[in-house]
Amino acid sequence: MKILALPGDGIGPEIIKQAILVLEKLRAKDFNFEVTTMPIGGAGYDSHGDPLPQTTLQEAKKAEAILLGAVGGPNYDNLPRSLRPEQGLLRIRKELGLFANLRPAVIHSELLGASTLKTSVIEGLDIMIVRELTGDIYFGKPRGRRSTGSGEREGFDTMQYRESEVVRIANVAFQIAQKRSFKLCSVDKANVLDTSILWREVVDEVSRDYPDVSLSHMYVDNAGMQLLKNPRQFDVILTGNIFGDILSDQASMLTGSIGMLPSASLDHSGKGLFEPVHGSAPDIAGTDRANPLATILSLAMMLRYSLNRSDLASRLEGAVGQVLADGYRTEDITEDGKETVGTSLMGELVRKAL
């Protein structure tokens, strides 16, 4: 099995290192693999002048699964958009057809106190956000900058969804709902946007194939509010690329820290790229302060969704739960005044628990 590691920038290399060590711990006669490491994002730009070097893309196409750290950093802020680290990530998603982004927000009972929300609101929280990942205003054309008639600068982007793009992500969401509690909430802005009116129409059409799933629709502004007011009303949330980007960061904080949230980005056959929802956190890069658990939990998603080893995924998730139950915390999930462990010790603790 070929696994490609893409550490990227900022804290990426530190958290990927811990995740790979955890993966090594799982190596067995019936679980053999080969890990290749390649640059992406700012690291790709530094080494190859390209945030998605050709060699990285080629390896990605050959790999069974990809584990990614994070991209981006202040050194690259002034590059033209096509060379920015984020483009490496957006292009690899697009090139590999990774249209289905699964972002589970699950509260670990040990971390109830780490959230800024009341325990009574978040206890038992278990949401799955299904975010469309290769369309929408992220990729719509035309886009760019121009000068208006009066010589003013103007920026513009295009929000856009084709029917077939909505159908395939809706199918993914309905099927996930069938494996959970048969409840799906589709989030859009159909009171304002034509793209959303079509989105809602198509989701309704797809729903006829899933009569056992109860479908509701919600405007994105209300969804943002409801996520804070009563997050447990949600089970599976289906949404487009930009709304999903925003709502998934928001949902992460319900669970105490964005440092805990894994994600999977899958193509039509289940091959995928797995990455933490958090970013490259350049302010703490290289200081052994990052939480590696979102990446380690992304590894568990890789085992479950791409490598067909849900047994190992559950073992790994169990090990993370154990370390948290034993009271170990990185600084992002600690409560005031409690002692914390660093990135590498947290990784080691998970390996010991395994």
Catalytic residues: 138, 189, 221, 245, 249
Which residue in 245, 292, 296, 312 binds ligand IPM (CB under 6 A)? 245
Phi and psi, residue 275, nearest 5°? -155, 155
Report 201-240 residues binding ligand IPM (CB under 6 A).
Answer: none
DSSP reduced 3-state for 272: strand
Interaction of residue 136 with Mg ion, rule CB under 5 A: no
112, 219 in Cβ contact below 8 A? no
| Distance, CA of 159 to chain centre | 21
Alpha-carbon distance of 19 to 259, in angstroms, equals 14
**Least distance from ligand IPM to the Cβ atom of residue 90, Å:** 6
Longest dimension (CA), the chain: 70
Task: Report what 89 binds from ligand IPM, Mg ion, none; CB cut-off 5-8 Å by kind.
Answer: ligand IPM
Interaction of residue 301 with ligand IPM, rule CB under 6 A: no
Name the nearest CA neighbour of 314 among 286, 287, 354, 345. Answer: 354
Q: Which residue is nearest to ligand IPM (CB)?
A: 86
Beta bridge partners of 156: 144
Structure tokens at 265: 């980005």
Per-position x/- string for 227-246, each x denoting binding to Mg ion as judged by CB under 5 A, each - no binding: ------------------x-
Which segment (86-94, 158-166, 208-216, 230-238) binds ligand IPM by CB under 6 A? 86-94
93, 133 in Cβ contact below 8 A? yes
Q: Judged by CB, which is closer to Mg ion: 245, or 332?
A: 245
Interaction of residue 132 with Mg ion, rule CB under 5 A: no
Interaction of residue 90 with ligand IPM, rule CB under 6 A: yes
Residues of this chain that bind Mg ion (CB under 5 A): 245
